[in-house]
Amino acid sequence: MPVRPFSKRLLSASQPPLQIRGGSIIGVIQNVNRKVCELPKKVRTCEISIDPTAQKEHNTARMKTPVTVTVTGAAGNIAYSLLFRIAAGNMLGEDQPIVLKLLEITPCLDKLHGVVMELDDCAFPLVQEIVATDDPAVAFKDANWCMLVGSVPRKAGMERKDLLSINGKVFIGQGKAIAENAAPDCKVFVVGNPCNTNCLIALHNATGLPKQNFFAMTMLDELRAKSQLAAKAGVPVSAVTNMTIWGNHSSTQYPDFTNAKINGKPVTEVISDTDWLKGEFIKTVQQRGAAIIQARGASSAASAANAALMTVKNLVTPTAQGDWFSVASYSDGTRYGLPEGIICSQPTRTNADGSHTIVEGLPIDDFSRGKIDASCKELLEERAEVLG
């Protein structure tokens, strides 16, 4: 599908992508481009040779095949934190060249243009190409990671599921565009709320893509829970491990203190205040998003971007021995009594080969059972609303 006129303007305004033909290297880092080749505007491909000094300077970055990362809602608040950290290599590694593809709705293309100018002005060595567009087919072309942030945030007094009627439809078209244009093994990661069910919508519309490649974000809840437990126990947050968020990224989510650890010991051995664990702790985590909206007048953005970055980093990095992380993924109905066919947050590990495994065999006591079931019930209700 052709790039729309405005997108062309954006493309020509940013550094044109280059290809080195006759070799295996595709794409050139921006500041190398500038040294060796002056391109006429709107020429997006040329043959160049790299001067040896530039080659040495950027040797590490050129050793890996570029990864294409598509971010939707790229002119929004979360993206304004997220993009610069992706571009700096904080997500996929400081030796991983990336192509950034940025999707926005047409009225926000001017604002997106400003973001692209700022990205350009950072001269990130890893960024080989930036494509900014309002066309999903262009944005998802060859994407390896589809980070679906673009959608409306809730206002004070709303639940996230109240956004389903506004945001849900976005994920129909984007799911289809991903299936038609992205890399066949692409990973789809949904941040836009209600993220679990939006992810399910995308999955149902992305015909042919493996279900296990779809994820929704509960890392922000995991990090919030870790932070609360660390503060209560008076330990650094790094001491808190094995933190599962079960269920929905909503006010029914269950931050599972019964299987979490502090300095390798069960949380319940370190924090004896069970009333706090069962009451204030859970409520604080469940209501943290609302508390931030109340205080800031806008939903979490920098912390959400950080959590998005951490999720992808966790999904591409082998998980530390004995630990796990939280992400919502497709439930096949075979574990922990979670219903089949929902996108449910579960304890997850990334294996050495890059595959993902749900941690099996964690004890679920009656208290946890009730909380997990309540969140799954909400996910089933949301599913019924969108899939009938």
Q: Is 80 exposed, middle or buried (0-12, 13-18, 19+ CB in 10 A)?
A: middle
Site for ligand NAD in 109-148 (CB under 6 A): none
Residue ranges in contact with ligand LMR by CB under 6 A: 153-154, 160, 193, 220, 289-290, 292-293, 299-300, 304
Q: Which of 58, 204, 249, 356 is catalytic?
A: 249
Interface residues for ligand NAD in 233-262 (CB under 6 A)? 249
Q: Is 249 a catalytic residue?
A: yes
The binder of 292, among ligand LMR, ligand NAD, none, by C-beta within 5 to 8 A per type, is: ligand LMR
Nearest residue to ligand NAD, using CB?
76
Shortest distance in whole angstroms from residue 308 CB to ligand NAD: 8
How far apart CA 294 and CA 61 sit, in angstroms, is 43
Nearer to ligand NAD, 28 or 170 (CB): 170
| Pairing verdict, β 187-190 and 145-148 | parallel
Tokens of 132: 């900014």
Supply the minimum distance, in Å, between the C-beta of residue 300 and ligand LMR: 4
Q: What whole-number distance in Å separates Cα of residue 74 and Cα of residue 102?
A: 6
Q: Which of 103, 260, 312, 338 binds ligand NAD (CB under 6 A)?
A: 103
Tell me which residue of 322, 297, 325, 328 sits closest to 200, measured CA to CA.
328
Q: How is residue 324 written in tokens?
A: 């796990």
169 within 8 A of 128, measured Cβ to Cβ? no
Give the Cα separation of 165 and 385 in Å (integer).
Answer: 9
Contact 377, 191 (CB under 8 A): no
Among 71, 131, 164, 217, binds ligand NAD (CB under 6 A): 217
**Count of CB atoms situated within 10 Å of the CB of 253:** 27
Residue 175 sits in the site that holds ligand NAD (CB under 6 A): no
Q: Which stretch binds ligand NAD (CB under 6 A): 56-64, 104-112, 262-270, 343-351?
A: 104-112
Q: Provide the binding-site residues for ligand NAD, judged by CB under 6 A.
A: 72-73, 75-79, 103-105, 108, 149-154, 170, 191-193, 195, 217, 220, 249, 299-301, 304
Catalytic residues, which ones? 249
